[in-house]
Amino acid sequence: MRRTVSRIRKRIDMPSQDPAERRRNFQEVALGYSPEEAVEEASRCIHCPKQPCVAGCPVEIDIPSFLKLIAEEKFGEAAAKIKEKNSLPAICGRVCPQENQCEGVCTLGKRGEPIAIGALERFAADWERLNAAEQKLPEAGKQEGKVAVVGSGPAGLTVAAELARMGYEVTVFEALHVPGGVLSYGIPEFRLPKDIVRHEIEYVQSLGVKLLTNVVVGRTITVDQLFDEGYDAIFIGAGAGLPHFLNIPGENLNGVFSANEFLTRVNLMKAYEFPEYDTPVKLGKKVIVVGAGNTAMDAARNALRLGSEVTIVYRRSRQEMPARLAEIHHAEEEGIEFRLLTNPIRIIGEDGWVKAMECIRMELGEPDQSGRRRPVPVPGSEFVLECDSVIIAVGQSPNPILTKNLPGLEMTKWGTVVVDPETMQTSIPGIFAGGDIISGGTTVIEAMGDGKKAARGISAYLQQKARV
């Protein structure tokens, strides 16, 4: 057994910016493989017959084939192979939680380290972009049917790209002035550079997808009007854009933000370049971020880069933190402090501004519905943390602007849209949904997986409609 283990070569680490350096700039943290590193890493794949990685990928990328192409230095072909299944490879290569998906089930991982599939996907996509070596995918014939896609986040872009490649006419409606949804307003520049998001969206447009910004479906145009205008099917991928607050005293003091507001100001509106960009953001010296998901890590690391000292306050323990392990490590390396088993109970103000936060110590009790041990307060353990700003990152629910104006649309008690898990069709025929609006909030790749399924569901619906 021992000898087998030693035969598995070590994974090639992707270089990244030094923590001491990167904590003060907004440039990308991970730097990507060189061609030599990529070839070496890709050639570690043993091409096992079961291919568990493919089953582990929500968008079914033919991973062994693209790894083989990289190992053979056919980088452009590797990118084309990925794009057969995934139109946003440079994005996915950066933000997918591969450790829970393709890499999590990699055969090599049983005896050693799994192949760095995400890093290699990123490499192939970046290589293609930097070398302007885009290969045209074979075009499908035209299909009868016009589809409206609401929201240009990961789910919407995927549905649109898939349907366009099948030959349907697709228009994407985006409420904000920039497309991309969470890819643009939520995920920071240092984790997902906006030039890359722009480039991949342009790729989706090059497939024939029409994209309209500043259209708030439900307000600017209603779903009924879309049907009246001749759209045959509608996909709702409007995301989970309603931020949760803690409902504790002091939450409307100046200096308290939702993570969405803070991230939107910084990532979308480029407040870190104020006054060149007009949108300001104001953080004090000491910032507390409440929550421990990926959004909390993104907010904390953005705040750090704006020059603040940052503490994450989370009511459960390290094991329950929902953020990707890599993000937690990055945050720690950069000097973010973690106060675990700590729950805010009150934000204390002075002259209308945040001054401190009163917290209580927690301990873990019996498992709750989520299977995680329920945090319970330790009586009499209240204490005060000084701070000037508070960022609340404790989750969100679907944005109700569109759904509340759609009578007959079946919803859960959490405000998410109910869909058929196979076709992604909602309770209203011809209306499909996917992404955070059905899940309440997961990952970019899960939303893309939904988009992929929805595209098939919509295509089947349109085919059937055409026959009638």
Partner 1 sequence: MYRIVDKRELADKITLFVLDAPLVAANARPGQFVILRVDEQGERIPLTIASTEGGKVTIVVQEVGKTTAHLRSKEIGDALADVAGPLGTPAHIEKLGTVVCVAGGVGTAIIYPEAKAFKEAGNKVITLMGARNKSLLFFTDELAQVSDRIIYATDDGSFGHHGFVTDLLQQLIDEGTTIDLVVAIGPIPMMRATCELTKKYGIKTVVSLNPVMVDGTGMCGACRVTVGGETKFCCTDGPEFDGHLVDFDELAARNCQYVDKERLSYSMYEEKRGCGGRCHG
Least Å from the CB of residue 216 to partner 1:
6
Sign of CA dihedral 111, 113, 118, 119: negative
- Shortest spacing between CB 363 and partner 1, in angstroms: 30
Nearer to partner 1, 221 or 348 (CB): 221
Whole-number Å distance between alpha carbons of 466 and 169: 14
Q: Which is nearer to partner 1, 258 or 425 (CB)?
A: 258
Nearest distance in Å: CB 177, partner 1: 4
Q: Beta strand pairing status for 342-350 and 373-377?
A: unpaired
Neighbouring-strand partners of residue 386: 356
Closest approach of Cβ 152 to partner 1, in Å? 14
Where do we find the tokens 């006419």?
A: 169
State which residue, 280 or 335, has the beta carbon closest to partner 1.
280
Residue closer to partner 1 (CB basis): 45 or 178: 178
List 30's β-bridge partners, or say none. 16
Distance CA 343, CA 339 (A): 9
Q: Which residues contact 323 (CB under 8 A, 6 or more apart)?
A: 292, 293, 294, 296, 297
Are the C-beta atoms of residues 396 and 264 closer than 8 Å to each other?
A: no
Nearest distance from C-beta of residue 293 to partner 1, angstroms: 17
State which amino acid sits at residue 209. V
Whole-angstrom Cα distance, residue 309 to residue 319? 24
Q: Which CB atom, from 182 or from 209, has the smaller least distance to partner 1?
A: 182
Q: Which residues touch 249 (CB under 8 Å, ≥6 apart)?
A: 346, 347
Nearer to partner 1, 241 or 435 (CB): 241
| Residue 100 CB, nearest approach to partner 1 (Å) | 27
d(Cα 381, Cα 342) in Å, to the nearest integer? 10
Contact assessment for residue 267 and residue 302, using Cβ atoms and an 8 Å cutoff? yes
- Find the shortest distance in angstroms from Cβ 279 to partner 1: 4
Reduce the secondary structure of 280-322 to three states and give it as a string.
Answer: CCCCCCEEEEECCCHHHHHHHHHHHHCCCEEEEECCCCHHHCC
State the nearest-atom distance from the C-beta of 414 to partner 1, in Å. Answer: 16
> Backbone phi, then psi, for 157, in 5-degree steps?
-65, -35
The one-character DSSP state at 347 is: E
∠ at Cα 96 (215, 178), nearest 5°? 20
Minimum gap (Å) between residue 55 Cβ and partner 1:
35
Structure tokens at 270: 């480029």
- CA-based nearest residue to 154, from 178, 185, 181, 193: 181
Residues that bind partner 1 (CB under 8 A): 175-177, 185, 213-216, 219-222, 225, 241-243, 245, 247, 251-252, 254-255, 257-258, 260-261, 264-265, 269-270, 274-280, 282, 352, 399-401
Q: Work out how close the CB of 261 gets to partner 1 at its nearest, in angstroms, rounded to a whole number.
A: 4
Q: Which is nearer to partner 1, 131 or 214 (CB)?
A: 214
- Nearer to partner 1 among residue 282 and residue 372 (C-beta): 282
CB atoms within 10 A of CB 411: 18
Contact between 298 and 188 under an 8 Å Cβ cutoff? The reply is yes
User: Among residues 53 and 269, whose Cβ is nearest to partner 1?
Assistant: 269
**Alpha carbon of 209 to those of 149, 165, 203, 204, 334: distances in Å?**
10, 9, 9, 6, 40
- Supply the minimum distance, in Å, between the C-beta of residue 19 and partner 1: 29
Closest CA to 448 of 180, 134, 146: 180
**C-beta closer to partner 1: residue 112 or 349:** 349
Give the nearer residue to partner 1 in terms of CB position, either 128 or 174: 174
